[in-house]
Structures are given as C-alpha cells and as structure tokens.
C-alpha cells in the first residue's frame, strides 16, 4: 500500500471513530433513536453491499468508468441521506439525527472499501 492510501485509510478510520462517538453522545436510545439507528444501519449495509458490487463491476470497465461510478454513487448517497433525514424529521417515531449519524458511519466504512478496491486495481493492473 502506498503512503497516500495509508493516510487516507487513517483519516477514514478517524472519521468513523468521531461519528461513532458523536452517535453515542447525541442519540437518545429511546424508540425513535433505535428506529433511526436501525434505518441508518439498514441503509448503510445496503449501501456497502451494492456499492461494493458496483465498484468492482465498474473497475472491470476501466478507471474512467470507475471514477464516474464513484462520483455518481456519492451524489446519490448524498441526496438520499438528506431526503430521508428531512422525511424522518416529520415522523415522530424515527430520529433523523440517529439515522444520519449511523448511516454516515457506514458511509465512511464504504469509502475505505472504495479506496482499497481502487488501490488494489492500480497495484495489480487487474480489477479487485
């Protein structure tokens, strides 16, 4: 692994730790908090699985395709998390803060996966 990848992964790990700490401090683990956290975790796991599959698939088509997929996926996730946070704001049974914080933990975990997939492809010349 290159120094850039190691530094990038360290920064991602730091963000995951900060978001996890913020989650513990800011989420009230009442019914709404649990529901929001579960929604964020569910969408986060779906994001990880679907993103992993799409990234691997796009890396097989070349780096230009992979970068387009990564940028497009980032924009889709951004719009989705904002739209759902606004939607959950009007629903009493789901905490939008819990949703957003837990989803962001999974989002940064996925960023680490993306970095590793791209790095492996660049190092070996073959898609991960």
pLDDT 10s digits, 13-54: 999 999 999 988 998 889 999 999 999 999 999 999 998 999
Write out the residue range of the structural domain in which residue 111 sits: 3-124
Q: Contact 19/105 with Cβ under 8 angstroms?
A: yes
Say what the pTM is: 0.84
Domains of the chain: total: 1
CB neighbourhood size of 53 (10 A): 10
pLDDT 10s digits, 55-75: 999 988 888 988 898 899 889
| pLDDT score at 85 | 87
In this structure, is the dihedral angle defined by the CA atoms of residues 101, 103, 106 and 110, taken in order, positive or negative? negative
Query: Locate tokens 């996966």: which residue?
Result: 113
- d(CA 120, CA 117) in angstroms, rounded, equals 5
CB neighbourhood size of 96 (10 A): 20
pLDDT 10s digits, 88-117: 888 889 999 999 999 999 999 999 998 898
């Amino acid at each position: 692994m290159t120094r850039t990848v190691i530094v990038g992964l360290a920064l991602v790990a730091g963000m995951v730790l900060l978001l996890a700490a913020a989650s513990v401090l800011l989420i009230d683990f009442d019914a709404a908090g649990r529901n929001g956290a579960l929604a964020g975790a569910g969408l986060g796991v779906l994001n990880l699985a679907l993103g992993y599959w799409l990234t691997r698939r796009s890396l097989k088509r070349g780096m230009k395709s992979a970068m387009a997929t990564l940028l497009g996926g980032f924009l889709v996730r951004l719009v989705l998390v904002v739209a759902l946070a606004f939607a959950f704001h009007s629903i009493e049974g789901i905490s939008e803060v819990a949703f957003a914080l837990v989803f962001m933990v999974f989002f940064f975990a996925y960023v680490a996966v993306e970095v590793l997939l791209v790095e492996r492809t660049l190092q070996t010349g073959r898609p991960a």
